[in-house]
């Protein structure tokens, strides 16, 4: 007996960037809305914060890509509230496997799709305006943001802030991270392709959006050579970029760099 069309087949997975749940939380201050959202990414429910000003409405969207992995470097209000105060609706993914989300974070591997889905979600939300969604990537979040600029339609200008641009260099510089990198990414000699895929300085010609590089010369966690390598690669590829190096600044979030990031995003989102 012939089965009817579709009988016995697995149900279709929800499309990436579709909202699954919204939980309103007490805002950090008056005049803002804070939600803990759940959205779909590769068939997984992934969580993040959506923080937006009540005015303007709709507000221009922005995706903030945090650094670290798992509990290290988790999203904080100290990072996203200053952006919302400047008029942005900020979506900050926790990445898969964190804060009750499904799946497992893998340091700019498949979890990069959580950022792509966040961009698609922002383009769907009625509270968010703009044909493109800019991204700020801090530390390893810069890899996520730059991957979005290379692979995700709708990604706008990118700010790489204290960002990793060559993961093999991180392996060499950060002895304390080698065990984690071998476990999550692989060994750079045995899995070189995984390190290349996570190294924007090695495929800068694919980056379709303007890039602002912000880095402190005193950064001991992500050395300033990452910024210089990314700048040289973008220059060689003929891609639009600018770089600001801050003398003696470490791996920190500063007002000066924040103002530079916001000005860059506004300038490159208006045209």
Question: Chain-centre distance of CA 269, in angstroms?
Answer: 17
Q: Which residues participate in catalysis according to the annotation?
A: 139, 251
Of the candidates 81, 117, 119, 84, the residue with the CA atom closest to the CA atom of residue 101: 117
DSSP letters along the chain, please? -PPPTTTTPPPPPPPTT-EEEEEEE--SSTTEEEEEEEEEETTEEEEEEEEEESSSSSEEEEEEE--SBTTBT---HHHHHHHHHTT-EEEEE--TTSTT-SS---SSSTTHHHHHHHHHHHHH-TTEE-SSEEEEEETTHHHHHHHHHHH-TTEEEEEEES----HHHHHHH-GGGHHHHHHHT--TTT-HHHHHHT-GGGSGGG--S-EEEEEETT-SSS-THHHHHHHHHHHHHT--EEEEEETT--S---HHHHHHHHHHHHHHHH-
């Amino acid at each position: 007996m012939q089965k009817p069309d579709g009988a016995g087949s697995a149900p279709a997975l929800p499309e990436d960037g579709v909202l699954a749940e919204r939980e309103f939380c007490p805002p950090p201050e008056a005049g803002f809305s804070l939600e803990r959202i759940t959205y779909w990414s590769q068939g997984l429910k992934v969580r993040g914060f959506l923080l937006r000003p009540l005015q303007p409405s709709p507000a221009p969207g922005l995706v903030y890509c945090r650094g670290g992995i798992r509990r290290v470097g988790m999203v904080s209000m100290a990072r996203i509230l200053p952006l919302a105060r400047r008029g942005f609706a900020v979506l900050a993914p926790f990445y898969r496997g964190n804060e009750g989300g499904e799946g497992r974070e893998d340091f700019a591997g498949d979890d990069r799709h959580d950022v792509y889905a966040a961009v698609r979600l922002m383009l769907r939300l009625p509270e968010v305006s703009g044909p493109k969604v800019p991204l700020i990537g801090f530390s390893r979040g810069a890899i996520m943001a730059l991957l979005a600029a290379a692979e995700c339609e709708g990604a706008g200008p990118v700010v790489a802030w204290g960002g990793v641009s060559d993961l093999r260099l991180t392996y060499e510089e950060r002895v304390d991270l080698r065990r984690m990198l071998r476990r999550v990414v692989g060994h750079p000699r045995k899995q070189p392709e995984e390190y290349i895929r996570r190294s924007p300085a090695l495929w800068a010609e694919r980056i379709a959006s303007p890039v602002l590089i912000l880095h402190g010369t005193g950064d001991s966690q992500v050395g300033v050579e990452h910024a210089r390598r990314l700048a040289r690669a973008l220059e060689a590829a003929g891609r639009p970029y600018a770089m600001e190096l801050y003398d003696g600044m470490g791996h920190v979030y500063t007002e000066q760099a924040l103002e530079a990031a916001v000005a860059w995003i506004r300038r490159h989102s208006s045209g």
